[in-house]
Amino acid sequence: MNINSETIASMLDVSAVQANSTKKEVREYAELAIKYNCKSVFVLPSFLSFLRDYRNENNGKFLIGVPIGFPAGGMTTEMKVLEAKNYLQFDVDEFDLMINIGFLLSGMYREVLDDIRAVKDVIGTKTLKVIIECYYLDNDLMQHAADAVIKGGAQWIKTGTGWTPTGATLENTAYLKKVVGNAVKVKAAGGVRNLETIRKMIEIGVERFGVGGSAKTILAEAEQY
């Protein structure tokens, strides 16, 4: 694969999903997405209307993304469903669902699966990525999480929220790719801060990346190739 700025941009979900993400940052990320033709821009729900209007007013081609059950995942399934229904009105294209880590750690694998299926049923054919927050998981729990993601009908499995000390590593992305094969795709997020990491993860089989403040630097570096 030719790793240039166009290729990298097509794999980037530029994300302003921290507690201190501002309207100014959302605008800057949307501008960046338009400039480089990034795949998507993810924002916290309160900024969805602003992002939608900005995209429409500026002929943006990027997808709009939003997290559900973010960042802890511990709300009820009914609340996650309500979130999904509410966000659909903002022309959201992709949903990143936070898995119920408490259920997973408790061995409540059926409940984890039901949580995912319920949201997928609401959003229909729209893209669902499930965040499993690898920071808390060993390989066995990652395997159980991956099984639920596949059976739940999601299209992607995602390493983390970016709210924990670590997220995507070469080790956990390689393991997830081995576990899921071609059943779902792997998105790396949390700690992806430079082009070299992205290059190595592409070799592993990662196909999307959630990137925040490092996006501009990564894309500028990729322009040199």
Measured CA distances, 62 to 14, 33, 56, 97, 103 (Å): 10, 6, 10, 20, 34
Q: Which of 131, 116, 108, 134 is nearest to 187 (CA)?
A: 131
- Alpha-carbon distance of 139 to 165, in angstroms, equals 18
26 contact partners, CB below 8 Å, separation of at least 6 = 16, 41, 43, 47, 50, 51, 54
> Is 96 one of the catalytic residues?
yes
Residue of 80, 158, 177, 185 marked catalytic: 158
Residue of 80, 96, 129, 177 marked catalytic: 96
Q: Which of 17, 39, 41 is nearest to 29 (CA)?
A: 41
User: Do the Cβ atoms of 120 and 153 come closer than 8 Å?
Assistant: yes
Residue of 39, 129, 185, 187 marked catalytic: 187
172 contact partners, CB below 8 Å, separation of at least 6 = 134, 142, 159
Residues annotated as part of the active site: 96, 158, 187
